[in-house]
Amino acid sequence: MTTIDITEQGLRYLNETLQQQSAGTNQKEWDIINPRGSHAIAVGLDAPIQVTVNGSTGYYCGGMNKQASITIKGSAGPGVAENMSSGMVVVEGDASQYAGATGRGGTLVIRGNAASRCGISMKGIDIIVAGNIGHMSAFMAQKGNLVVLGDAGEALGDSLYEARLFVRGSVKSLGADCIEKDMTEAHIKQLAELLERADMDADPAQFRRYGSARQLYHFDVDNVSAY
């Protein structure tokens, strides 16, 4: 394991070093100490390495991630795992607003709560939240899965496209064009796989599924107030 102290070696050195790693690297495990809420830690990685951040981070930690597995042993600021394409990002604490925004692939696991706009404009990422999520989560979400073991705030799934939302707790309100849908055996199986991937013990049968009513795909004068 290679250890990098951000206080001593600096954030630029950290990111440059991690970004230089390739698929064939022998340095698979990286331990980051003294993050002290720094922004943009471990961004733009593109190698199958394991990165552990020992403490809380600022905004955009793990952004644009490919292949890497990043664990944050603390809470994360806004935009954690933003625009990631593959790999996994795990937040052991809470996540601030727009976690996993525009994510195209990979898995984001939040073991605490997530603030507003979790999964906004997600495009293929899978997000699993052990706690609650804030308002406007999955706004304009296009593809992927958002799993919430706790409660969801106002306007869940507003202007949703084809992403699937699974919530075990209560939903304060649904956004425009988001409706509750049937939970089939196929969905229960898929949800079970997502929960197992996130190492979360929950019964898939206790969840409700939400998706797009598909009424906002094309302009309709009867829906003008919703645009």
Of 103, 67, 104, the closest CA to residue 87 belongs to 67
Residue 64 lies in a domain: yes
Averaged pLDDT, 195-206: 97
> pLDDT tens digits, residue range 146-200?
999 999 999 999 999 999 999 999 999 999 999 999 999 999 999 999 999 999 9
Tell me if 114 sits within 8 A of 94, measured CB to CB. yes
Looking at the domain assignment, is residue 221 inside a domain?
no
Which position has the token pair 């949800």?
191
Q: Is residue 226 part of a domain?
A: no
Tell me what pLDDT residue 215 has. Answer: 86
Question: Which residues have C-beta within 8 Å of that of residue 20, sequence separation ≥ 6?
Answer: none
pTM over 0.85: yes
Range of the domain at 200: 2-213
What pLDDT sits at residue 226?
A: 61
Lowest mean pLDDT among 18-27, 75-84, 159-168, 203-212: 18-27
Burial of 144 (0-12, 13-18, 19+ CB in 10 A): buried
Question: What percent of the chain is modeled with pLDDT above 70?
Answer: 97
Is 227 a domain residue?
no
CATH of the domain at 130: 2.160.20.60
Nearest CA to 166 among 196, 199, 140, 144? 144
Does the structure show a pLDDT above 90 at 221? no
In the chain, how many domains are there? 1
> Which strand ranges, in their side-by-side order, compose the sheet holding 123-129?
2-5, 29-33, 50-54, 69-72, 88-91, 107-110, 123-129, 143-148, 164-167, 208-212, 178-181
Does 225 reside within a domain? no
* Residue 14 domain flag: yes
Average pLDDT on 86-93 reads 98
